[in-house]
Amino acid sequence: MRSTTESRPLKVLLLSLFHPELVRGGAQQVCYELFQGLKEIEGIEPTLLSAVDPSFKALYKAGARITGFDGRPGEFVFLGRDYDYWWHRSGSHLLVESYIEFLETLQPDVVHFHHFLLYGIDFVTLTRKTLPNARIVFTLHEFLTICAADGQMVRRSDKSLCSRPSSIRCHQCFPERGPEEFFTRELWMKRHLSEVDMFTTPTRFMLAHFEQWGLPPEKLVYVTNGQPDYSRGENHVKEREKRNRFGFFGQMVDNKGVWVILQAVALLRAEGFTDFVVELNGENLQYASPERRTEIEKFLEEEKELPSHERIVQLNGGYQVDQLAYRMARVDWCIVASVWWEAFALVISEAWMFKRPVICSNIGAMAERVVHEQNGLNFAVADPRSLADTIKRACTEEGLWDKIVAQITPPPPREDMVNGFLELYRGAAKSAETKEVPAHAH
């Protein structure tokens, strides 16, 4: 690999699942932030390749498999097709040939997989075969390599959290597939991951999961996600007598736990505690399971029927980053009620940008970032009773909000992330055990 001290710049190819301007999502947002950040570094020449699926048919030019994107320098689109969502591989040898040609043309020094979905996990091996000397960095945004259940490590049978995959346990999630298939799936995934030079995760608990699964610990490195400060220093915090306004920000799919919030509200209302409001800022309810979707829609319908002064929950719909300030100004606390582990939970960073304390589930990335009674409050995951008690306490305990807000530190800025990855690109990363976590990570 070349160093940036040579005359030729260090070429970094970032592979992203979707482009954040086509499909919103944490992984692609972080990848795009990294791309923007790298562009500002002298001696680095980043290229972004964003995969799309055939639902974006307007982007599919006849006979093309990789094209530019919107006339932007350094940005390309990978026109995925025939993707095998079980084995995670591209079904077309033409895509393989086009990707080889793209690599040979670009000659990147570093290929950074910010995701493999829509390319195929075998593209890691293809990259290694095409560019034997390139450094391959692989960011793990969820557990898709370990877990066939959308990488969430939530058991499909009873929705409980899974921390220990095995052939038999995975078969129990997919009874139609034999245990051997999961054994083979693991061999398949690990075969391709063996070509990776360094893995990164944005939280420490993920390191443990992947190390336990068998990835070499010396290749596992923590690199935080980072974003620009969308608040621009304006946190819109005003003096108020009560701190009884709560906000949810995110997708309204099952694993984000909107249903936990609504059930907590119902419990408190039944007890006669109604002096609080919950604002839901989110969309994509259509991707929730039919049962949860019906539950949420029914709750919101009934809420609408109530006189305005009795309403507690309000649905504000989806939002863009530039609307965050306005939406955050309307709440005192942010609730992150996810019932899966979360890899990083960008929404926590967004809350902290505006000095909003977070109430979150006591697992995974959420518990790692939000320390109970210090910079936020935890409640028992998937437990509406526990959340109801926490909401009530947040509304009524004098001085609690101020005490917690005082301990909120700014979320990791984009520079931390860019520097973390640059270190890896330059091949100077230390192992996960010795590497210092950026101070802003917690």
Partner 1 sequence: MKQEKAASATATSSPLSPGFNERAYLHAHPDVAAAIVRGDVESGKDHFLKYGSQEGRDSLNPALDPLDQLVIASTARELNSRPSLAHFLETIIVSRSGGVFVVGWVDDSESPLERIRLTAADWRLSMDGRSLARVRRADVEDALGKPISHSFGYFGFLFADRSLQRVGEVKAEIITKSGETAECQCQVRMVEDLELRDIALQYLAEAHHFGNQQIKGIACIDRAIGQQLINLNTHITANITATPYVEWFGTDIKKPKGSIIVCLYGKAEYLFLQNALHSQAKGIEDYEFIYVSNSPELAERLLNDARASSLLYGINQAVVVLPGNAGFGAANNAAARASRSGRVIIMNPDVFPRERDWAAKHSALLASQPAVQTKLFGIPLYYDDGSLMHGGMYFELDKGLSIEGFTMHQSHLVRVEHYGKGAPGKGSEFARPRAVPAVTGAFISAERDWYEELGGFTEDYIFGHYEDGDLCLKSMERGVAPWLQDLHLWHLEGKGSTRRPVHEGGSLVNRWMFSTRWGATVMDGLLGPNPTHKLLKAG
Q: Does 9 participate in binding partner 1 (rule CB under 8 A)?
A: no
C-alpha 119/C-alpha 85 separation (Å) is 10
Contact between 184 and partner 1 by CB under 8 A: the answer reads yes
- Residue in 53, 150, 181, 197 binding partner 1, rule: CB under 8 A: 181
Of positions 54, 91, 214, 410, contacts partner 1 by CB under 8 A: 91
Residue 107 in the binding site for partner 1 (CB under 8 A): no
CA-CA distance, 183 to 306, in Å (whole number)?
53
Three-state DSSP at 285 gives: helix
Whichever of 185 and 369 has its CB closer to partner 1, that residue is 185
Determine if 188 is a binding residue for partner 1 (CB under 8 A): yes
Q: Indicate the residue among 125 and 316 with the shorter CB distance to partner 1.
A: 125
Alpha carbon separation from 325 to 225, 285, 290, 424 (Å, rounded): 20, 23, 32, 34
Residue 219 Cβ vs partner 1, minimum distance, rounded to whole Å: 17
Neighbours of 3 (CB within 10 A): 12
Asked if 97 touches partner 1 (CB under 8 A), the answer is yes
| Interaction between residue 191 and partner 1 (CB under 8 A) | yes
Distance (Å, rounded) from C-alpha 125 to C-alpha 113? 12
Q: Could you tell me the maximum CA-CA distance found in the chain, to the nearest angstrom?
A: 71
User: Considering the rule CB under 8 A, would residue 100 count as an interface residue with partner 1?
Assistant: yes
- The interface region with partner 1, picked from 172-180, 258-266, 273-281, 358-366 by CB under 8 A, is 172-180
Per rule CB under 8 A, is residue 129 in the interface with partner 1?
yes
65 touching partner 1, by CB under 8 A: no
Structure tokens at 408: 């909120």
164 contacts partner 1 (rule: CB under 8 A): no
Query: E strands, 212-312, where?
Result: 220-222, 245-251, 277-283
CB of 424 to partner 1, least distance (A): 24
For residue 128, give the H/E element and its range: helix 122-130
Backbone angles phi, psi at 366, to 5 degrees: -65, -50
| Residue 302 CB-half CA count within 13 A | 9
Say whether residue 179 binds partner 1 (CB under 8 A).
yes
Contact footprint for partner 1 (CB under 8 A): 87, 89-93, 96-97, 100, 122, 125-126, 129, 167, 178-181, 183-184, 187-188, 191-192, 194
